Amino acid sequence: MEILTLGNELLRQKAAPVKPIDPEKYQALAEEMAGALHQGKGVGLAGPQIGLLERIFVVHMEKDIPRVFINPSLIMTSQETVKYEEGCLSLPGLWADVIRPAAVRLQAWNEKGKPFTLDASGMLARIILHEYDHLEGVLFIDRLSEPKRNRLLAKYEKRKGGSNADSLRGKS
Ligand code: NI
């Protein structure tokens, strides 16, 4: 399972609702996504990141079971916000402090097609909001100030250029 990175247009598109939720299909998909998540040492992975424009994401925090969210809707986000450092499997090597609501209540369906409501705070709320953004075609760099985003993107481009230069050097 390939994880798409910045520059791929699929990361910028809005994902469509899953309809219907075929338990067999989505249990298998969720397992595959959890596998890719572990391989990438991430804590969350959304459909668009694997080129699947469907409203599904998987969250796996340490010491927790992987949680699957299909067709999630945010019922409430807290007024209180927190700043915390984020990274993303689609933006390898980039980290930045992002301000988000401290808590969230959402409604979603699991991989078996069962609906649930969840109140989350702390790290879980943070990951859920980051993954929900992916379903809307939004990346965490979009939530930074413009100067900060530009600095980060310049760093990203420079590193990409750097690795190309390295591989050219290796060939000569
Ligand atoms: Ni991400």
The answer to whether the beta carbons of residues 84 and 98 sit under 8 Å apart is yes
Which residues have CB under 8 Å from 26's CB, separation 6+? 18, 56, 68, 70, 111, 112, 113
Q: Are strands 44-46 and 115-121 parallel, antiparallel or unpaired?
A: unpaired
Residue with tokens 């994401």: 57
C-alpha 169 to ligand 1 mean position (Å): 32
**Per-residue pLDDT for the chain (172 aa), expressed as one digit of tens each?**
899 999 999 999 999 999 999 999 999 999 999 999 999 999 999 999 999 999 999 999 988 889 999 999 999 999 999 999 999 999 999 999 999 999 999 999 999 999 999 999 999 999 999 999 999 999 999 999 999 999 999 999 888 765 544 444 445 5
Q: Is the dihedral of CA 81, 86, 89, 91 positive or negative?
A: positive
Half-sphere exposure of 14 (CA within 13 A, CB side): 3
- Cite the active site residues: 131
C-alpha 162 to ligand 1 mean position (Å): 23
C-alpha 90 to ligand 1 mean position (Å): 6
Q: How far is CA 134 from CA 24, 131, 153, in A?
A: 24, 5, 18
pTM of the full structure: 0.92
pLDDT of residue 87: 96
The terminus-to-terminus CA distance of the chain in angstroms comes to 33
CB atoms under 10 Å from CB of 103, counted, come to 19
Number of H helices, E strands in the chain: 3, 7
The answer to whether the beta carbons of residues 131 and 57 sit under 8 Å apart is yes
pLDDT of residue 167: 43
C-alpha 153 to ligand 1 mean position (Å): 15
C-alpha 132 to ligand 1 mean position (Å): 9
Domains in the chain with CATH codes: 9-168 (3.90.45.10)
pLDDT of residue 162: 59
pLDDT of residue 166: 44
How far is it, in rounded angstroms, from Cα 69 to Cα 104?
14
Closest residue by Cα to residue 108 from 55, 42, 59? 55
pLDDT of residue 168: 47
